[in-house]
Structure 1
Amino acid sequence: MTKNPILPQEIFSFHSFGLPFYQIPFYLFGKRRYKKVKGLVHSEFLIPMSLGLPLFSWKRYKISGLVLFALWQTEEDLNQFLLSKESKWMQSGWHVRLRMIRRWGKILELAEATVFGRTSNPDQTTISITLARLKLTELLRFTKWGKPVESQVKNHPGKQMAFAAFRPPRHFLTFSIWKTETDIVQMVNGNDPRKDGIEHREAMAERKRKDFHFEFTTLRFEILGGNGLELGINSKSV
């Protein structure tokens, strides 16, 4: 008799939460405090940023809180974390639970993460997350080509929510929620320049010519659930 294979139970989560300013450095740079959290495979704390605003505008940087992107061995590990004192500040924010369905590029810490087949309808809400480790010598080029893409994403009709985040000096993330997976594909490819724009397509061509990063990955997720985020999201339980 053939045994059924044991399917991976891993789950990603993304959190947005407020906390006192003096606490921010401890979360950004004190990763040691989370190394003993049960079931936590990898975590990224970053400062959120609004898209489309000038780099030197204080309104761009949301220094009253942080975001957390994390990979867990199981959903139960995530549940236990959210009940622990380590998640004290996160409990007043929002989070979404995610299953990875697409991956391009590679970040070492997430190289072994499972890419699942999509179980929900592609016409349902989809989340895209990009992680980048910038070459500091490419900062000016990265800014030149990245700023137009910010405006393209911000103004796209298929976008429900979008923002960026960073951890000094070289770690960057983008988080966006889309009405459908097709909307993401159209934006990336610039299928209809009048609606989708071509800035992302041009920036990717420039990155291919001479990379801005030493590590880069774009991930797509279906939504399994969450708490505190009201966007009319079509979610499903695990």
Structure 2
Amino acid sequence: MTLFSYHLVKIPIALAIKGLFSSPIKSNTKGLVHAEYMTAMTLGAPILSTSRFLIKQVAIFAQWESEDAFETYLKEDKFGKILTNGWHVRLEFMREWGRISGFKIPEQKAKLQSASSPVVAVTIARMKPFAIPRFLRWGKPVEKLVRDHTGTLLSLASVRFPNTVSTFSIWKTEQEMTNMVHGHSTMPNPKRHSNAMQERARKNFHFEFTTLRFKPISEYGSWKGNKNFIPNLKNK
């Protein structure tokens, strides 16, 4: 059964700079369906600041043909071994909105154990170059909403130049996430996300965009000294 994984890892500066131009995850890796290799960003940070683009911190979102293929990659590949020094979560696909190239969306969909189970959301967008300033104007308030939301357990953004932008968030419950999306949360100015969605519908920021929802199945390692972000989950 296909498996998705999301990774956060800090790497040496030389490898990070090289990764800006060429992904260290080879596209012909055995068992790999597709991977997005990106530089991590701080949600809501000023656009032109060192806290915005975290050059030595990378985020990888990948799809694998099976968990066995993924395990083999971590054990035998040079960069796979580097990933074991960071943090990652393994995911089962639940829902998709939009469409993005590269990934093969499974027909089989996972279900949460209960309404109080945690859920993971990943967005990926291929930006229209001339739409980036407008996207940033509408997107920054949404970043702050997600960053500060009481329903999130972990949230961040990532980018791969020239035009790929992504977000990753772990939510305590699916209901808290959907309330945020539709502007029904108890946070201040709760309609920041729904307003941005209306602007996107009026005039799209992207030529490709998807939101993917996942059931987390296991969590490994630590990130910035923290581990076990997801409660009641198999952790290693």
Partner of 1:53: 45
Q: Is the 8 A contact 2:146 2:155 kept in 1?
A: yes
Cα-to-partner distance string for 1:154-211 (whole Å, 9 max, x where unaligned): 1111011111000111001100011001111000001145467100000000000000
Report the secondary structure of 2:231's partner residue.
coil
Quick check: 1:102–1:115 contact (8 Å CA) kept in 2?
no
Cα displacement string for residues 100-126 of structure 1 (whole angstroms, at most 9, x for unaligned residues): 101100002125444513142231111
Find the partner of 2:56 among 42, 64, 72: 64
Gaps of 5+ in 1: 1-8
2:138 alignment partner, SS class: helix
Name the counterpart of 2:122.
Answer: 129
Structure 2 spans left out of the alignment, 5+ residues? 222-226
Please tell me whether the aligned partners of residues 123 and 180 of structure 1 are also in contact (alpha carbons under 8 angstroms): yes
1:98–1:221 Cα contact (<8 Å) kept: yes
Normalising by structure 2, what TM-score? 0.91
Q: TM-score, normalised by structure 1?
A: 0.90
CA distance in 2 between partners of 1:164 and 1:105 (Å): 19
Q: How is 1:66-81 mapped onto 2 (pairs within 5 angstroms)?
A: 66-81=58-73
Which of the pair has more CA radius of gyration? 1
Cα distance in 2 for partners of 1:137, 1:180 equals 36
Contact 2:149 2:187 in 1 (8 A): no
Distance (whole Å) between structure 2 residues aligned to residue 161 and residue 32 of structure 1:
25
Structure whose residues are more often helix by fraction? 1
> What is the rounded CA distance, in whole Å, between the counterparts of 1:196 and 1:115 in structure 2?
37
CA contact (8 A) 1:156 1:196 kept: no
Provide closer, same or farther for how the CA distance between residues 40 and 232 of structure 1 changes in structure 2, counting only shifts above 3 A.
closer
Q: CA deviation at 1:15?
A: 0.6
Quick one: distance in 2 between partners of 1:158 and 1:33?
A: 33
Q: Which amino acid aligns with 2:175?
A: T
Alignment coverage as a number of residue pairs: 229
Structure 1 contact 223–236 (Cα < 8 Å) conserved = no
Instruction: Return closer, same or farther for 1:33/1:224 CA change in 2, 3 Å cut-off.
Output: closer
**Percent sequence identity over matched residues?**
37
